[in-house]
Amino acid sequence: MPVESHYRICPLCEACCGLEVKTEGAKVVGIRGADNDVFSRGYLCPKGVSLKDLHEDPDRLRTPLIKRDGRFVPASWDEAFAEIERRLLPVWREQGPDAVALTIGNPAAHKVNLLAYTPRLVRALGSRNVFSASTLDQMPKQLSAGLMFGHWLSIPLPDIERCDYLLMLGANPMVSNGSLWTVPDYRGKAKAMRARGGRIVVVDPRRSETAAVADEHLPIRPGGDALLLLGIAHTLFDEGLVKLGRLAEHVNGLDEARAAVAPFAPEVTAAGCGIPADVQRRIARELAAAPRAAVYGRIGTCTTRFGTVNSWLVDLLNVLTGNLDREGGAMFAKAAAFAANTQGRPGSGKGITTGRRKSRVSGAPEVFGELPITVMAEEMQTPGEGQVKALITVASNPVLSAPGGPRIAQALEGLDFMLSLDIYVNETTRHADVILPGLSPLEDLHFDVAFPQLSHRNHARFSGPVFDAPAGTPQEWQTILRLCALLEGRGLDVDVQQLDDEAIESDVKRFAGDNTPAVLAALRPWRGPERLIDLQLRVGPYGDQFGRKPDGLNLAKVKAASTVEAGGIDLGALTARIPEVLRTPSGKIELAPPSIVADLAAIKVEAAPAFSLIGRRDVRSGNSWMHNLPLLAKGPERCTLLVNPGDAERLGLVEFARVRSAAGELVARVERSADMSAGVVSLPHGWGHDLDGVQLGVARERPGVNMNALLDDAARDPLSGNAVLSGVAVQITAA
């Protein structure tokens, strides 16, 4: 059989690498980085190669499952939908929409099928109990960006290819491959930056892989970033280093920002963050002096009590040093499609609103249309009107990925009905009554909706399925539209094509008005997500505007250029976008959003606990679900507790340690590591595959432990609702 070559964008992390997948008939015979890819230029990591394992994984679901007498049995799609109609709809109708919760997990951000269609399900469901991985992750950054720049996805990112000085906090792109910063081959880019004289400073309680290849590592106390960033901001004002440059006429609230940081001199903050005052002042001076600098913070800065404050301070520093929106600084991407900050009137807008609803039990405010995922269990377990009695999960595994995992498992057991859209029977979906499987990534088309809005360089790429989906298996957007139809009272016997036609018509009407028929006619060759992509590309900033700009982009052009040979369309380096990118009501950058400034009052300079627990990621792992792929599972055990050797000695730790927090305890295998600061221990998340009923043959062999069993589901950043995942006080003893 001939070997064929296919271009495929990897959907497994934010780097969005272009791959070359070689097939022989129905078999994958090789996966490598696509050398000509305009964006990733041949880069890939072991997870990309493991797409073959994922495609072939015998545990990956290929048919719907229905639970009968406590056991899953394979079912047809019609049977599965009939079961959903019979069991979900009564809960929803009789107890009200809030009784049915929805949780959306990380892979949904990587799939146009899910990202573009899940909002339709949210609307059809009408429940306030919508949760997602966003409140375990980046909600603080989205909130601060929304308040400062007017839109949730207007997030500045380092222009690394032209940057001279990069201050990075709480991120490990050497392993994570970047986050809220789509930057494949960080290693190569960091190396190039240093080779041309640039300097990288990494702030992290662990000497991470990223710190190891930087010029300087500052071992901060977990949770100490707000104090450090405040100390730096204070120094900029104190020493007259603030220089807004071109931004001066585009900001509001400079005096308020100065007043807000005034109490936080480095000499005050040092005791709370563990970074000496003279170092804080030096970093401030270096940042101010660098010709082009950027400050970037990620998971370690978001998943703390002061996640929103941290996220704001990162961009405040970018503005105060004149580095926001300038080449080599922290810039905004301009995505070809789907970016709200390229739509509507440029330069100002409605801004953002939070708190339109509150959670029933804790009163946690809605942010970006959702409630904190950490209130999900209490909403299920607390009786009363509006109690959650049923759940739909979409690519979400909260039993392993959210704090209080064991409590979530218990809560799921108490539900009247649970539906999962997923590809495995895992720690969460084992509780479902019906599971509807998605496709293998190699059977799916791919277009990145979110990540071009966060890319270090602008680009447009598309990839089609490598293999046909098995006959009769719907794509996930079709599954979602059928669910919407059930909720809309249209029953089981629906024409998905017609549902899709109706959905797109209502989308187009919203902006095209009287032109709707003409726009729909122009989109006619496409169906499903492809039609949405064509629409978004054509009305986007590089679009053909339905013929008004004949040289502009549309899906046909992007598809034609998305081959192994051509590697997509390069849209160039980032360009300055202020004021056009702004969507704040004032048309300015808001430097001192009142809710954030008010939260500074809660910051205390405290002594460190005996031990704090932080997380970590591993190259051969992806959150909670890639541990069943042989290529990634092989090698040394990854779920270990990293302990500073001096601490291990003192505590007499040999092979295992008992880790106890206020919320739970577990026993983990100990790995001594001189990269750990004294008093800090690290466990990765997403492990603990040995629960009853989990059907993950490979992952169960070395299940690891669930670090989220140690985390308190009541610990949140009150502004964004984001969970606290790092810097949790623990006790360590030998076991």
Q: What is the DSSP letter of 669?
A: E
d(CA 96, CA 118): 20
- DSSP-assigned letters across all residues of 295-352: EEE-HHHHSSTTHHHHHHHHHHHHHHTT-BTSTTSEE----SSS-GGGSSSTT-----
Tell the smallest beta-carbon distance from residue 387 to Mo ion (Å): 29
Strand pairing class (589-590; 251-252): parallel
Residue 12 touching ligand SF4 (CB under 6 A): yes
C-alpha distances (whole Å) from 349 to each of 255, 333, 343 are 24, 18, 10
Which span (41-49, 220-228, 365-373, 692-700) binds ligand SF4, by CB under 6 A? 41-49
Residues 470-489 that bind ligand MGD (CB under 6 A): 476
Residue 130 touching ligand SF4 (CB under 6 A): no
Tell the smallest beta-carbon distance from residue 351 to ligand SF4 (Å): 33
Residue 372 touching ligand MGD (CB under 6 A): no
Which span (13-21, 139-147, 153-161, 605-613) binds ligand SF4, by CB under 6 A? 13-21
Residues 182-201 that bind ligand SF4 (CB under 6 A): 184
Tell the smallest beta-carbon distance from residue 181 to ligand SF4 (Å): 13
Residue 179 touching ligand MGD (CB under 6 A): yes
8 A C-beta contact, residue 400 and residue 428: yes
The one-letter amino acid code at 237 reads F
Print the binding letters for residues 244-283 with ligand SF4: x by CB under 6 A, - otherwise. ----------------------------------------
Residue from the set 421, 555, 582, 632 that interacts with ligand MGD by CB under 6 A: 421
Residue 16 touching ligand SF4 (CB under 6 A): yes
Give 225's strand partners.
Answer: none
Q: Which residue is nearest to ligand SF4 (CB)?
A: 48
Residue 10 touching ligand SF4 (CB under 6 A): yes
The one-letter amino acid code at 629 reads L
Nearer Cβ to ligand SF4, position 49 or 421? 49
Residue 633 touching ligand MGD (CB under 6 A): no
- DSSP-assigned letters across all residues of 492-526: S---HHHHHHHHHHHHHHHHHGGGHHHHHHHTTT-
d(CA 528, CA 106): 22
Tell the smallest beta-carbon distance from residue 314 to Mo ion (Å): 17
Tell the smallest beta-carbon distance from residue 670 to ligand SF4 (Å): 29
d(CA 698, CA 679): 34
Strands of 137-255 (E only): list them: 157-158, 165-169, 199-203, 216-218, 251-252
102 SS3 class: strand
Structure tokens at 198: 């640039």
d(CA 155, CA 544): 26
Residue 620 touching ligand SF4 (CB under 6 A): no
Nearer Cβ to Mo ion, position 137 or 618? 137
Residue 686 touching ligand MGD (CB under 6 A): yes
The one-letter amino acid code at 371 reads L
Long-range CB contact pairs, 470-473, < 8 A, 24+:
470/62, 470/443, 472/77, 473/62, 473/77, 473/437, 473/439
Tell the smallest beta-carbon distance from residue 396 to Mo ion (Å): 12
Residue 715 touching ligand MGD (CB under 6 A): no
d(CA 57, CA 79): 25
Burial track 361-374 (b if 16+ CB lie within 10 A, e otherwise): bbebbbbbebbbbb
Q: Which residue is nearest to ligand MGD (CB)?
A: 300
Q: What angle do CA 614, 674, 184 make, to 5 degrees?
A: 60
Taking CB within 5 to 8 Å according to partner kind, which of ligand MGD, ligand SF4, Mo ion, none is near residue 721? none
For the chain, what percentages of helix, strand and coil (3-state, to nearest 5) are there? 40, 20, 45
Tell the smallest beta-carbon distance from residue 7 to ligand MGD (Å): 19
Taking CB within 5 to 8 Å according to partner kind, which of Mo ion, ligand SF4, ligand MGD, none is near residue 304? ligand MGD
Tell the smallest beta-carbon distance from residue 79 to Mo ion (Å): 34
Q: What angle do CA 231, 237, 238 make, to 5 degrees?
A: 80
Residue from the set 20, 83, 137, 370 that interacts with Mo ion by CB under 5 A: 137
Residue 406 phi/psi, 5° resolution?
A: -60, -35
Residue from the set 21, 45, 75, 608 that interacts with ligand SF4 by CB under 6 A: 45
Tell the smallest beta-carbon distance from residue 716 to ligand SF4 (Å): 29
Residue 707 touching ligand MGD (CB under 6 A): yes
Taking CB within 5 to 8 Å according to partner kind, which of Mo ion, ligand SF4, ligand MGD, none is near residue 619? ligand MGD
Residue 713 touching Mo ion (CB under 5 A): no
Nearer Cβ to ligand SF4, position 18 or 222? 18
Taking CB within 5 to 8 Å according to partner kind, which of Mo ion, ligand MGD, ligand SF4, none is near residue 48? ligand SF4
Tell the smallest beta-carbon distance from residue 212 to Mo ion (Å): 23
Residues 590-619 that bind ligand MGD (CB under 6 A): 614-619
Instruction: Report the Cα 360 to chain-centroid distance in Å.
Output: 26
Tell the smallest beta-carbon distance from residue 272 to ligand MGD (Å): 12
Q: Exposed, middle or buried: residue 670 (CB in 10 Å: 0-12, 13-18, 19+)?
A: buried
Tell the smallest beta-carbon distance from residue 415 to ligand MGD (Å): 17
The one-letter amino acid code at 162 reads R
Taking CB within 5 to 8 Å according to partner kind, which of ligand MGD, ligand SF4, Mo ion, none is near residue 397? ligand MGD
Strand pairing class (330-331; 157-158): antiparallel
Nearer Cβ to ligand SF4, position 113 or 177? 177
Taking CB within 5 to 8 Å according to partner kind, which of ligand MGD, Mo ion, ligand SF4, none is near residue 17? ligand SF4
C-alpha distances (whole Å) from 369 to each of 139, 309, 359, 374 are 11, 20, 12, 15
- Report which secondary-structure segment, H or E, holds 21: strand 18-24
Residue 17 touching ligand SF4 (CB under 6 A): yes
In 3D space, the residue among 482, 465, 451, 473 whose CA is nearest the CA of residue 530 turns out to be: 465
Residue 172 touching ligand MGD (CB under 6 A): yes
Nearer Cβ to Mo ion, position 61 or 108? 108
Nearer Cβ to ligand MGD, position 226 or 236? 226
307-320 vs 139-149: helix crossing angle, rounded to 10: 40
Residue 208 touching ligand MGD (CB under 6 A): yes
Residue 368 touching ligand MGD (CB under 6 A): no
Instruction: Report the Cα 182 to chain-centroid distance in Å.
Output: 11
Tell the smallest beta-carbon distance from residue 620 to ligand MGD (Å): 7
Residue 573 touching ligand MGD (CB under 6 A): no
Structure tokens at 20: 């070359």
Which span (93-101, 133-141, 231-239, 526-534) binds Mo ion, by CB under 5 A? 133-141
Nearer Cβ to ligand MGD, position 175 or 714? 175
What are the residues binding Mo ion (CB under 5 A)?
137
What are the residues binding ligand MGD (CB under 6 A)?
13, 105-107, 111, 133, 136-137, 169-173, 175-177, 179, 203-206, 208, 220, 222-223, 225, 298-301, 304, 394-398, 401, 421-424, 426, 438, 476, 614-619, 621-625, 685-686, 707-708, 711, 725-727
